[in-house]
Amino acid sequence: MTSKALLAATALVAITLSLPATAAELTVGFSQIGSESGWRAAETSVSKSEAAKRKVTLKIADAQQKQENQIKAIRSFIAQGVDAIFLAPVVSSGWDAVLKEAKEAKIPVVLLDRDIDPSGKELYLTAVTSDSVHEGAVAGEWLAKAVAGKACNVVELQGTVGASVATNRKKGFDSVVAKNANLKVVRSQTGDFTRAKGKEVMESFIKAEGGGKTICAVYAHNDDMMVGAIQAMKEAGLKPGKDILTVSIDAVPDIFKAIAAGEANATVELTPNMAGPALDAIMAYKAKGTVPPKWIQTESKLYTAADDPQKIYDSKKGLGY
Amino acid sequence: MMSRLLQSRGLAQIIALLVILAVDRAVSPQFFDLRMQDGRLFGSLIDVLNRGAPVALLALGMVLVIATRGIDLSVGAVMAISGAIAASLADAHGLPLALAAALGAGLLCGLWNGFLVAVLGIQPIVATLILMVAGRGVAQLITEGRIVTFTAPDLVWLGNGAVLGVPAPVVVVLGMLIVTGAVVRGSALGLLIEATGGNARASELAGIGTRGMILAVYVWCGLCAALAGVIAAADIMGADANNAGLWLELDAILAVVIGGTSLFGGRFSLVLAMVGALIIQAMNTGILLSGYPPEFNLVVKAAVVLVVLLLQSPRFANVGVVLGRARQ
């Protein structure tokens, strides 16, 4: 993946550099974290297509998960005199010095997907991120609506213990559970965001809950764990999606395959399109001087079988997930 | 009396396993329930055997490496590589080729480790650290960073199938245990491996080809790891290069050590390493069944491991005897 993306990125930069830039066209430097996950790869490829759609020249620098590489990339973007810098920060601290340099060079910085420490609040224009507490709440609200007041025992597959995404997705879901007396989280364990652990934990949930007969729904903090849990349910002779409702978060292609097959019910999208809203904000800022709000929250869209899952699967599978 | 009892080989491990199973039964009353589901035995006890299979396979290779006073940190990464290869080839080329390529890659990895240790004389922990780090990168290159899924039914069978109700991974472990046992204990090979670990120089002078011994155990360890990787991929019908086998090398080493094999080499027990793997998995499954919050998982695991290791310690047993006398 890394080598391919790198090649593609280099090729893109090479092509775009050779084009004569007209005055109206913008050049944006994007310091991407690297290729830590399928979602990250999808974010990179969506950023490219969103930039192409708006005729913006996007230069992507792959930092290979290292902050020093990101700082180097930002400095080189400043030296090149780009119109704006997108930054997906690998860590939340240590950005003040380099962002000050960008500010002095009057280059607006937009944070993508992750935020930085509050001390740097004045140093960037806006942050485009998803609200993971809200994602958990959207998942919970779907379930509350789906069971329509009936008593429902939920088992929860948590993400890695201590990961902020896991804590927030739990918090959001719990807030809905607290408002609906019919919903009850009976078991909650970590599946480390992986398919293998999701399957193993679900196997034990099924055994501990009378062969799965007392489980009404599964909530997983990501789709990969749900894919594992679906296998565990099938092997136990249960029908996921019918006997046991499922709702998870991320909207990776494989969960749409499961939804299309009737084995999963719902997923909440963590959109890989962070660059789209960021580009719109930058273009408005450059053209009319419109200052965007400090935080642009991306939509946490819910997908179910009603949304033509097969079509979404086909459109998503090429993004590099 | 107490100290002699605990030191009779294997008793401490068996007692530990039984105690953990009893605790599992206490936290989860249906623990020993068994039924058939789609031609496969179904129950928590089967989960322990089935989920423990990858670590058991790793331990089977690891125990021989440790017997030569070595260690192999790369087994988790080798799992990721072989799983990635099997998953990428299974749908297009069928099981025989996918399996051969995956196991072949494991053999090559083992050969590389063995070459670094036996021929170049690099310390095992450093030599295998190289592949531990690089191997996962190789696996990620093969899968291009995504989860490669497959549907080939014969490969899926290796993870989810059954022979007479016994899950296929358990059958594979039993098969490998019998083969390994027959080879190392059915001949003088086991003794030669122990001699190599006990005192390589003396063994060399006594005419044992220690270099060949060391090379052979790393190759076998690589093969076992590759098999574990194929089973792990078959289980989830996909190869997850980022997470397959992650940190499992530590569980494998732990299984071997719990099984009473010394890290200083010189003696080993295949069966007790298997018991060690079962102890770890029985504990993991028990934690999952207990319903405690996940924040407790690692603390409980550490406490149990500490107790099992203390049970095996001759000095600890002596302390018990001294305390017993003092009370009288």
In order, the DSSP letters of B120-153 are S---HHHHHHHHHHHHHHHHHHHHTTS-EE---H
For chain A, domain boundaries: 22-130+272-290, 132-270+304-316
Locate A251 and state its tokens: 């909207």
Predicted local confidence at residue B187, as pLDDT: 95
Predicted local confidence at residue B318, as pLDDT: 79
Contacts of B140 in chain A (CB under 8 A): 1-2
A156-178 pLDDT tens trace: 999 999 888 999 999 999 999 99
- Chains A and B form CB pairs within 8 A to the count of 90
User: Per DSSP, which regions of B205-286 are E strands?
Assistant: 238-239
Predicted local confidence at residue A19, as pLDDT: 46
Task: Look at A196 and B288 and tell me if their CB atoms are within 8 Å.
Answer: no
Q: Which residues sit opposite A32 in a β-bridge?
A: A62
Sign of the torsion angle spanned by Cα atoms A16, A18, A19, A21: positive
A54-104 pLDDT tens trace: 999 999 999 988 999 999 999 999 999 999 999 999 988 999 999 999 999
Contacts of B235 in chain A (CB under 8 A): 196, 199
Of A188, A190, A254, the CB nearest to B149: A254
Predicted local confidence at residue A18, as pLDDT: 45
Q: Which 8-state DSSP code applies to residue B115?
A: I
- Report chain B's terminal Cα–Cα distance, integer Å: 15
CA atoms of A217 and B66, how far apart (whole Å): 46
Q: Could you tell me whether strands B40-42 and B35-37 are parallel, antiparallel, or unpaired per DSSP bridges?
A: antiparallel
Residue of B nearest to A225 (CA): B236
Q: Which CATH code for domain A132-270+304-316?
A: 3.40.50.2300
Contacts of A207 in chain B (CB under 8 A): 28, 30, 43-44, 47, 289
CA atoms of A35 and B240, how far apart (whole Å): 14
Task: Look at A2 and B43 and tell me if their CB atoms are within 8 Å.
Answer: no
B110-135 pLDDT tens trace: 999 999 999 999 999 999 999 999 99
**Residue A205 CA to chain centroid, in angstroms?**
27
Residues of B with CB under 8 A from a CB of A: 28, 30, 37-38, 40, 42-44, 47, 51, 140-141, 143-147, 149, 160, 232, 235-238, 240, 242-244, 285, 288-289, 291, 293-295, 297
Contacts of A222 in chain B (CB under 8 A): none
Q: Which residues sit opposite B167 in a β-bridge?
A: B162
Where residue A16 falls among pLDDT bands split at 50, 70, 90?
A: very low
Q: How far is CA B238 from CA A56, B86, B194, in A?
A: 38, 9, 38
For residue A2, pLDDT beyond 90: no
Locate A270 and state its tokens: 């963590």
Contacts of A187 in chain B (CB under 8 A): 291
Contacts of A34 in chain B (CB under 8 A): none
Per the listing, tokens 């963590």 go with A270
A94 contacts A67 by C-beta, under 8 angstroms: yes
Distance from CA of A184 to the nearest CA of B (A): 14
Torsion of CA A7, A10, A13, A16, to 10 degrees: -50
Q: What is the average pLDDT score of chain A?
A: 91
Choosing among B44, B146, B148, which should be mutated to test the A contact, i.e. which has the most A CBs within 10 A? Answer: B146
CA atoms of A264 and A33, how far apart (whole Å): 31
ipTM topping 0.85: yes
A22-130+272-290 CATH fold: Rossmann fold (3.40.50)
CA atoms of B228 and B244, how far apart (whole Å): 10
Choosing among A201, A207, A215, which should be mutated to test the B contact, i.e. which has the most B CBs within 10 A? Answer: A207
Task: Look at B145 and A2 and tell me if their CB atoms are within 8 Å.
Answer: yes
Task: Look at B44 and A207 and tell me if their CB atoms are within 8 Å.
Answer: yes
Choosing among B288, B290, B292, which should be mutated to test the A contact, i.e. which has the most A CBs within 10 A? Answer: B288
CA angle, residues A250, A161, B49, in degrees to nearest 5 = 95
Q: Chain B contact for A4, CB < 8 A?
A: yes
Where residue A1 falls among pLDDT bands split at 50, 70, 90?
A: very low
Task: Look at B145 and A201 and tell me if their CB atoms are within 8 Å.
Answer: no
Choosing among B36, B160, B236, B285, which should be mutated to test the A contact, i.e. which has the most A CBs within 10 A? Answer: B236
Task: Look at B294 and A158 and tell me if their CB atoms are within 8 Å.
Answer: yes
A225-256 pLDDT tens trace: 999 999 999 999 999 999 999 999 999 999 99
Locate B245 and state its tokens: 């086998």
CA atoms of B36 and A183, how far apart (whole Å): 32
Per run of 10 residues, the mean pLDDT along chain B (length 328 residues) is 61 93 95 93 96 98 97 98 97 96 98 97 97 95 90 95 96 98 96 95 95 97 98 96 94 95 93 96 95 91 90 78 69
User: Do A22-130+272-290 and A132-270+304-316 share a fold?
Assistant: yes
